[in-house]
Structure 1
Amino acid sequence: MLKPSDKWTWYYDDSEQHLMLDLGNDMVFKTNLSRKLIVECAIGINEFSVDDASAFQTYKEQISHLNLSEPRQAELALYCVAAKRFHKPVQPKSWFFDSLSDGSCVPEEGDFVKLANGHGEGAFIVLEVGDSASLCASIKLDEFNLNGHKSLQFGQAIKVMHDRMSVINHHFLVQPMALVG
């Protein structure tokens, strides 16, 4: 599995028109963040920071519970770190999702949450928690249909109000159980 290094560097590639991560050894990771989605400070060279490494570990630990290959787990973890650090602040796009009656969800970073709409339901990982909304990334390999015309790809981030989500960690985190008889 991929291990963070202080030699990694983020940079924006004009030819690819996406934020990239140089992993050294002639390996480069292309994020899913285009120019219009990133903050100004992402243009130029940025070191892979201690905070990035910490976020990578948080996401990697959670993602390891998913039924994804190791390369897909690493890809999703890096998408999450890139979005957490460089995604532009955005308004919630909660209208794509059904409201839940209780509205009491208060997720934590790294939680898995379920979001649903008339086209289906999907699982997401929470990247950044706000007072009433959180930035989440789709963990579904297939695209998640938002409205029949728009969809979210694997690892793509969206900000959603908490009253639209329910925490579903228990679906992925299986605890060993001892049967006593």
Structure 2
Amino acid sequence: MTKTGLMTDFSPKANWQWQFDTEREKLMLNMGDYSIDIVYKANMLAFHSADPVFFTIEDVANYIELFDSISLSDFPPQISCTIIVHILAVGLFHKPLMPKSWLFKSLNSGTQEVNKGDRVTLTSSRTDQTGDYLVLENSDDFVLCMLVGDSHALTASKSLQQFQIVKVTRDKICLPEVETENNWNSYQIF
């Protein structure tokens, strides 16, 4: 996150805009006196314009719905805001991903039901490290997940950083053993 001021109000404003910083090759959401750098690499984004794109009414509606969802209640507002901004960036600008299932252990028969917004874990096939993820998309065969933990070591030299996404087959995901009430209500981001 890039701070140019202290953010205490997380409600979307008319001046919020997506900007691509061509010098740093970074997408960011400029929120007036505050901005959030998006972690996705420039080559994975379909937005490289120097012209800003303002937050739309649909962006605002999706942001508010997600911010008010019960599953974000265990995160501080600043982290919830950053998670949501990354979810919106995926829906708006991220190019499709190929599955990377070989990086993760098969942990179930692939029949577990998961929905958008569910918290799941993925375990690295090389390091045995488990990461905390959020389901962004769910199809019959694949699940697109965003890392909400700090980082997840996948191999000795490769790791995902917070808010990065990965697509895996359904047999790689594991629902937490203890169900919590912190599941998102359904939402539409695409």
What is the TM-score when the length of structure 2 is the normalising length? 0.77
Q: Which residue does 1:73 correspond to in 2?
A: 80
Q: Higher helix share goes to which structure?
A: 1
Provide the rounded CA distance (Å) in 1 between the counterparts of 2:177 and 2:79: 19
Find out whether 1:29 has 2:29 as its counterpart: no
Is contact 2:11–2:64 with CA below 8 Å preserved after alignment?
no
Whether contact under 8 Å (2:103, 2:154) holds in the other structure is: yes
* Map of 1:56 onto structure 2: 63
> Partner of 1:179 in structure 2?
none
- Whether 1:139 and 2:148 are equivalent positions in the alignment is yes
Structure 1 residues 174, 133: closer, same or farther in 2, change over 3 A?
Answer: closer
Distance of aligned partners of 1:55 and 1:152 in 2 relative to their CA distance in 1, 3 Å threshold: farther
* In 1, Cα distance between equivalents of 2:48 and 2:159: 25
What is the aligned-residue identity percentage? Answer: 26
TM (normalized to structure 1)?
0.80
* Structure 1 Cα separation of the partners of residues 152 and 84 of structure 2: 18
Task: Give 3-state SS (helix, strand or coil) of 2:31's partner.
Answer: strand
Distance (whole Å) between structure 2 residues aligned to residue 134 and residue 56 of structure 1? 22
How many residues matched?
171
Query: Are 1:157 and 2:142 counterparts?
Result: no
- Match of 2:110, SS state, is coil
Would the aligned equivalents of 1:52 and 1:85 in 2 still touch at CA under 8 Å? no
Task: Between 128-137 and 149-158, report the one with greater CA deviation.
Answer: 128-137
Consecutive unaligned residues of structure 2, counting only runs of 5 or more, are: 1-8, 184-190
What root-mean-square deviation, in Å, do the aligned CA atoms of Structure 1 and Structure 2 show? Answer: 2.5
Unpaired segments ≥5 residues, structure 1: 176-181
Aligned to 2:132: 123
Q: Normalized per residue, which structure has more strand?
A: 1
